[in-house]
Structure 1
Amino acid sequence: MAENSSGGTPAAAEEPAAIGRRVLRLRTERGLTQRQLAEPAYTPAYVSTLEAGKARPSEAALRHLAGRLGVSPEELATGRPPHVAAELRLQLTDARRALATGDPEDAAALFRALHAEAVEQALPAEQADALLGLGDCLLESGELQDAQDCFTAVERLLADEPLPRRVPAIRGRAGVHRLTGELRYACYLLETTLDQLNASGLPDPEALLLLYTAAIAPYMDMGAQARAAHAAELALALAPRVDDPALVAGMHRGVARTLIAQGRLAEADASLAKAGELYRQLHIHTELAHCHWMRGYVHAQDGDLERAEHELRTAHGMLASKRAALFTEQVEVELADVLRRRGRPEEAETLLRPLLTAGTDTAALRVGRGAVHAGAAHRLLGRIAEERDDTEAAEEHYRAALPLLERAGAVGDLADLCRLLGDLLRRTGRTEAALDAYRTGLAHRSTPGTTTLGPAPAAPPM
């Protein structure tokens, strides 16, 4: 998506009095009379009016005066040398590279410093870019409320900008809602923005690709496989119109999720391999780690648990080295599932227990922070407990998972959990309670490919 590189224009100029004082100072320093500064385009009286702060110069007048005074129109309008904004944008690019290749906490420190400088220099576009980068860092490290605050601040700063300019912040805010378990609201936010973009008559391919790709994950979490597949198809159709390889790679990773749901595992693996190659070229380590993570999931679905463990451990190592805390914890849940299926329940339990410090805000995964994976972790611990005939502990974990998955609207996981709980209650002679558990699962289980969301967003004009 094209950056707003204005960095301060005559439209962002100071008050007329400040500009007038600047014109007077520069004219005096250069030994020019008002007539010499004004001619041939303007009169000495006009220059006098400007210097007195009684009028704001037009853009044409600013260009004329700046040329005569040997400064840029921006410097004359704002008092800020033009290289300041350019250097700040270059540093923002370096900070983005630091986030892509290194530790989100280190990158966050860079973005905070750049935001402070952008505020000092009164550069709203650069303030927004710095806050967007900071929000991405905080999202990656699991500081979800702070990330939300950053994305919201970006939207405020860019309130008068075209909608495509605000899309990265909207996508980030939707990501926060998804990770806090608010799947329906994440979908609503993305779908509403998609409809606004498509209705605008001038849809932006990069903005649309960002939104359709971002929508795939919450759709899949909700069991809305048909809608996820449709979003993936639209993303694939948009990809040839987008030059940003990072966006195209993200699209391939999102599309793989829908292929997995359709059982097209070989195609999913091929899509993830394409994404991985693009991310390797870009040195975007976090996204590359996500590709290894999803490939591990593909192999696990295909029953190749050895390869699944290898891919998940690779993803885990990469995310842990970047201190991407929340993503690291989520991979640990998936890795624990593979370890249990490989007959190593003790290792699985060792991974899971630190993530669920029950009943305290110190739990790594909990309501408001990775709720879907918190539910999955409880469900796994319940299965491990069942396998060692500890039905009391198993039931405790199943019941702890229920509100987490209900709140998130993770329909498929919730139905499976209710089946497990119902089977356990039936085996222990509590038939009525078992029926209640089964009914709960059936009540939440939509027909595959459907959702309780409203109408899907309209397709963009291709």
Structure 2
Amino acid sequence: MQRLRTARGLTQRQLAEPAYTPAYVSTLEAGRVRPSDEALRYIADRLGVGFDELVTGRPARLATDLRLRLTEARRALATGGAERAAGSYRALLAEAEEHGLTELAAEALLGLGECALESGELETGREHFERAEARLADAGAPLTARVPALRGRAVAHYLAGELRYAVYLLESTLDELNRGGLHDPDALLLLYASVIGPYMDMGAHARAAQAAELALALAPRAGDPALVARMHRSVARTLLAEGRLAEADASLARAAELYRTLQLRTELANCHWMRGYVSAQNGLLERAEAEFRQALAMLSESRAALYSCQAAVELADVLHRRGKSEEAAGLLRGVLDELSSERGAVHAAAAHRLLGIIAEDARDTEAAEEHYVRALSLLERAGAAGDLADLCRLLGDLLRRTGRVEAALDAYRTGLGHRTAPGTTTLGPAPAQPPL
């Protein structure tokens, strides 16, 4: 009040009269008396500011302006400008914290987390999501409002190869929402779409299929088209696993259409990547190569390092199948320079597996064995049972051909140990379901 009065060149008498006395204004400015709402409205009118601005000390349009800038930062991230978006989010976070706008500060932290995931800085991303979740929890926000932060943490763990912990976070949140009657369609859809990938990599295909069915049932109730598009992209994985290739392609086409409308470039690139995978499954290798190259070009432009590496592994597989093994091997070596056991472990394993196959084709059994063993170590550490059985078969076959029968038997037994019944995991009962 004092700051606004002096900025306008008013004395305490000029501000107070005719309704109040200069002494009353003095006691208010000194903080010795709590003013009534009536007095505050009078003084706000005299100062030419809104009642809320006088009460909170925040500029009248601050929250609105910050929300507008949040939208611009999201657009920058969506179109591939993660670095620029991160700068905007950092500035927004500082302003929101300065004025005590907890919800907006949490949204800025979520944005910083997404930027970090995009650029492959998984630990930094996880820290941003944890801070966002803590802010919202301290402010008493309901679980539904904390879901994006929880999902961000789970994705960071998933991309780091910590599949079981990612599933634990997603399943426990789903369980709490559904048992508590918090059937928010957007929150549930976000979680079901996010858990499909980890389920598939763990070999829990039945749970993945169930999550996909629930996501499809929730989609008509969701209000966020980007969320619906992400769901279609995730569901395509389960449709592929069930051999429903035409339906998978239709889901991806719908996702791509939504992403084009929303101008979400990285997500659209991921659709090209998945459509390449569908084409490869159908034996349409030329089309698959074109789709993967398109995805890789778009992801490289947006500097989405981890996603670029994942698309490169798929492209290398198609190149190898088309007889372009030298180019495939070059791509894979580049991928391994970017990935590690703490960062993209499942895809690093896929790169080693494919390099092993290429080495076998070139009759370099020593190099092939080395790549298979490295891949096996990465997958075991990540708990990716979905790929372990096949890798153990490849390693066992190689060992058997080189005359090491006992070692081959050990490899086959390891593979059989990971060949669980369809859809089972060691994670306990499935989470409660929404009443659909």
How far 1:70 sits from its partner (Å)? 3.9
Tell me which amino acid in the other structure corresponds to 1:247.
Answer: L
Tell me which amino acid in the other structure corresponds to 1:429.
Answer: G
Decide whether aligned partners of structure 1 residues 59 and 195 sit closer, same or farther in structure 2, where only a CA change above 3 A counts. Answer: farther
Pairing 1:33–2:13 present: no
Whether contact under 8 Å (2:16, 2:25) holds in the other structure is no
Distance 1:239 1:22 in 2: 51
Pairing 1:370–2:344 present: yes
Of 86, 93, 96 in structure 2, the residue corresponding to residue 118 of structure 1 is: 96
Aligned to 2:398: 424
Whether contact under 8 Å (1:22, 1:76) holds in the other structure is no
Distance 2:13 2:430 in 1: 64
Aligned to 1:218: 198
Pairing 1:185–2:150 present: no
Of 132, 148, 151 in structure 1, the residue corresponding to residue 126 of structure 2 is: 148
Aligned-pair identity (%): 68
Aligned to 1:449: 423
How far 1:247 sits from its partner (Å)? 0.8
Aligned to 1:53: 31
Of 344, 348, 351 in structure 1, the residue corresponding to residue 331 of structure 2 is: 351
| Secondary structure of the corresponding residue to residue 133 of structure 2 | helix
How far 1:116 sits from its partner (Å)? 2.5
How far 1:134 sits from its partner (Å)? 1.3
Aligned to 1:14: none
Distance 1:251 1:58 in 2: 51
Whether contact under 8 Å (2:12, 2:25) holds in the other structure is no
How far 1:341 sits from its partner (Å)? 1.2
| Secondary structure of the corresponding residue to residue 338 of structure 2 | coil
Distance 2:135 2:278 in 1: 41
Distance 1:59 1:167 in 2: 37
Give the TM-score of the pair, scaled to structure 2. 0.93
Of 256, 278, 281 in structure 2, the residue corresponding to residue 301 of structure 1 is: 281
Distance 1:347 1:23 in 2: 68
Of 49, 59, 76 in structure 2, the residue corresponding to residue 98 of structure 1 is: 76
How far 1:295 sits from its partner (Å)? 0.8
Give the TM-score of the pair, scaled to structure 1. 0.88
Deviations 1:285-304 (A, max 9, x none): 11111111111111111221
Whether contact under 8 Å (1:124, 1:157) holds in the other structure is yes
Aligned to 2:212: 232
Whether contact under 8 Å (1:34, 1:47) holds in the other structure is no
Stretch deviating more after TM superposition (63-72 or 373-382): 63-72
How far 1:72 sits from its partner (Å)? 2.1
Stretch deviating more after TM superposition (150-159 or 103-112): 103-112
How far 1:78 sits from its partner (Å)? 2.5
Stretch deviating more after TM superposition (54-63 or 431-440): 54-63
Distance 2:79 2:333 in 1: 30
Whether contact under 8 Å (1:22, 1:79) holds in the other structure is no
Decide whether aligned partners of structure 1 residues 55 and 418 sit closer, same or farther in structure 2, where only a CA change above 3 A counts. Answer: farther
Distance 1:407 1:419 in 2: 18
Aligned to 1:288: 268
Distance 2:213 2:361 in 1: 41
How far 1:120 sits from its partner (Å)? 3.2
Distance 1:445 1:46 in 2: 80
How far 1:109 sits from its partner (Å)? 1.9
Of 311, 325, 340 in structure 1, the residue corresponding to residue 305 of structure 2 is: 325
Aligned to 2:184: 204
Pairing 1:389–2:369 present: no
How far 1:164 sits from its partner (Å)? 1.6
Pairing 1:267–2:247 present: yes
Whether contact under 8 Å (1:170, 1:190) holds in the other structure is yes
Pairing 1:163–2:138 present: no
How far 1:84 sits from its partner (Å)? 2.0
| Secondary structure of the corresponding residue to residue 61 of structure 2 | helix
Pairing 1:412–2:386 present: yes
Distance 2:180 2:38 in 1: 32
Distance 2:305 2:407 in 1: 38
Distance 1:370 1:208 in 2: 26
| Secondary structure of the corresponding residue to residue 36 of structure 1 | coil
Aligned to 1:359: none
Deviations 1:343-397 (A, max 9, x none): 11111101011222xxxxxx31111110000000000000111111111000000
Decide whether aligned partners of structure 1 residues 313 and 57 sit closer, same or farther in structure 2, where only a CA change above 3 A counts. Answer: farther
Tell me which amino acid in the other structure corresponds to 1:119.
Answer: E
Distance 1:211 1:350 in 2: 36
Whether contact under 8 Å (1:50, 1:57) holds in the other structure is yes
Whether contact under 8 Å (2:15, 2:46) holds in the other structure is no
Aligned to 1:16: none
Whether contact under 8 Å (1:132, 1:169) holds in the other structure is yes
Query: How well do the aligned residues superpose, as a CA RMSD in angstroms?
Result: 2.3
Aligned to 1:138: 116
Tell me which amino acid in the other structure corresponds to 2:84.
Answer: D
Distance 2:13 2:180 in 1: 50
Decide whether aligned partners of structure 1 residues 263 and 57 sit closer, same or farther in structure 2, where only a CA change above 3 A counts. Answer: farther
Aligned to 1:360: none
Deviations 1:172-221 (A, max 9, x none): 11110000011111011011111122233232111111111111111111
> Structure 1: which 5+ residue stretches go unaligned?
1-18, 39-43, 357-362
Distance 2:419 2:318 in 1: 25
How far 1:407 sits from its partner (Å)? 1.2
Give the number of aligned pairs. Answer: 432
Tell me which amino acid in the other structure corresponds to 1:94.
Answer: E
Decide whether aligned partners of structure 1 residues 101 and 24 sit closer, same or farther in structure 2, where only a CA change above 3 A counts. Answer: closer
Pairing 1:86–2:64 present: yes
Decide whether aligned partners of structure 1 residues 348 and 117 sit closer, same or farther in structure 2, where only a CA change above 3 A counts. Answer: same
How far 1:102 sits from its partner (Å)? 2.7
Aligned to 2:407: 433
Distance 2:36 2:358 in 1: 74
Whether contact under 8 Å (2:200, 2:386) holds in the other structure is no
Distance 2:166 2:38 in 1: 46
How far 1:73 sits from its partner (Å)? 3.0
Tell me which amino acid in the other structure corresponds to 1:101.
Answer: T
Decide whether aligned partners of structure 1 residues 138 and 326 sit closer, same or farther in structure 2, where only a CA change above 3 A counts. Answer: same
Tell me which amino acid in the other structure corresponds to 2:338.
Answer: A
